[in-house]
Amino acid sequence: MRILHLGDVVGRSGRQLLLEHIADLRRDHGCDVVVVNGENAAGGFGISPKICQEFYRVGIDVITTGNHVWDQRELIAYIDSDARLVRPANMAPATPGRGWTLVETPTGARVVVVQVLGRIHMKPCDDPFRVVDDVLRRFPLGPRLAVVVDVHAEITAEKQALGHYLDGRATLVAGTHTHCPTADARLLPGGTAYITDLGMCGAYDSVIGMDKAASVGRFTSELPGPRLEPANGPAELWGVVVEVDPATGLASAIDQLHVGT
């Protein structure tokens, strides 16, 4: 079994490139499950029900989100009805939506996708280590069962700590949120595939996908500036493809994937 996990989709340019390429990527890499972080897909802030349906139509199986999940207010009334849309599991218990989902492939193999928020430089949330433990107790890794953990966090050390904490108990631990692809895709000693940040699907001639001028202005002046908007230049896709050992659910290989300039 193979799993494709792509980083945060940012704005229209990221969406368009994703929609153009996802079917080919799925076919060319023999992927059974495709996971995409879509939390910046709608104008750089959140995701809408319409965009979710566009993603599903081209072959995306699961959409993860992050700290911007509620930026598009229409998602609040929608999220409970969409079993393939995942918000961070360590949000407050009364929060709508779900923190994990289960996908079954045509061959009968299953993939659990769970997301957690980091706690450093983020809004207050529950302990991601404990919350993932709760999910893994329900779905222990094993034959024909893979587990993908999307760690949406600011700090490299927090992501790496979760990777090592889950080594041998998850198939893939993939960092999202910072939008810059890291060069550390690897197999951890216990057989878990890991990368600190997948990168993004968006315009890289930008500041983490947003317009350069407006972003620079926020660092060089205390005056209120224009609202940040996604950059509109040529986009790139970044993510990983993970090969799963069907006998154990652990990863046997991880390869970084890049489409674009």
Catalytic machinery residues: 68
Q: At what angle do helices 11-28 and 49-57 cross, to 10 degrees?
A: 30
d(CA 114, CA 137): 13
β-strand pairing of 110-117 with 100-104: antiparallel
115's CB contacts (< 8 A; 6+ apart) are: 64, 65, 66, 86, 87, 88, 89, 99, 100, 149, 150, 151, 152
Closest CA to 152 of 89, 222, 214: 89
How many other CB atoms sit within 10 Å of the CB of residue 186? 13
d(CA 152, CA 88): 8
β-strand pairing of 193-195 with 200-203: unpaired
β-strand pairing of 235-244 with 2-6: antiparallel
β-strand pairing of 172-176 with 145-152: parallel
